[in-house]
Amino acid sequence: SAVISQKPSRDICQRGTSLTIQCQVDSQVTMMFWYRQQPGQSLTLIATANQGSEATYESGFVIDKFPISRPNLTFSTLTVSNMSPEDSSIYLCSVEANEKLFFGSGTQLSVL
């Protein structure tokens, strides 16, 4: 199994600012994923982050808005840039290990 530590667990931010969410895994993993769950909606994949290469973004998500770092095999960050109230969501990181997916506990973001 993989244990994921994600922080912050929640934050309230002002419009126009940026927030960086951190995801730490207790083992080395090749692939890390970032999801968003907007209120009343299903989980949506934002991007896939592999160490040593640029993140791959899904349709509707761009690097300027959601820059991702993946400096090593146990850590990744997602930044939500120039936030607006529409960015209020739960953000989840996930890793694939032993053919299973493991998820962090999520970051609940509220943008005023």
Partner 1 sequence: GNSVTQMEGPVTLSEEAFLTINCTYTATGYPSLFWYVQYPGEGLQLLLKATKADDKGSNKGFEATYRKETTSFHLEKGSVQVSDSAVYFCALSDSGGGADGLTFGKGTHLIIQP
Binding to partner 1 in span 15-74, by CB under 8 A? 31, 33, 37, 40-45, 48, 56
Output the smallest distance, CB 42 to partner 1, in A: 4
Residue 52 corresponds to which amino acid? G
Cα 19 to Cα 98: distance, rounded to the nearest angstrom: 31
Q: How many CB atoms lie within 10 A of CB 88?
A: 17
Among 92, 107, 109, 111, which residue sits at the site for partner 1 (rule: CB under 8 A)?
92
Place of tokens 């199994």: 1
How many alpha carbons fall within 13 Å on the CB side of residue 86? 3
Nearer to partner 1, 81 or 96 (CB): 96
- Residues at the site binding partner 1, with contacts judged by CB under 8 A: 4, 6, 31, 33, 37, 40-45, 48, 56, 92, 94, 96, 99-106
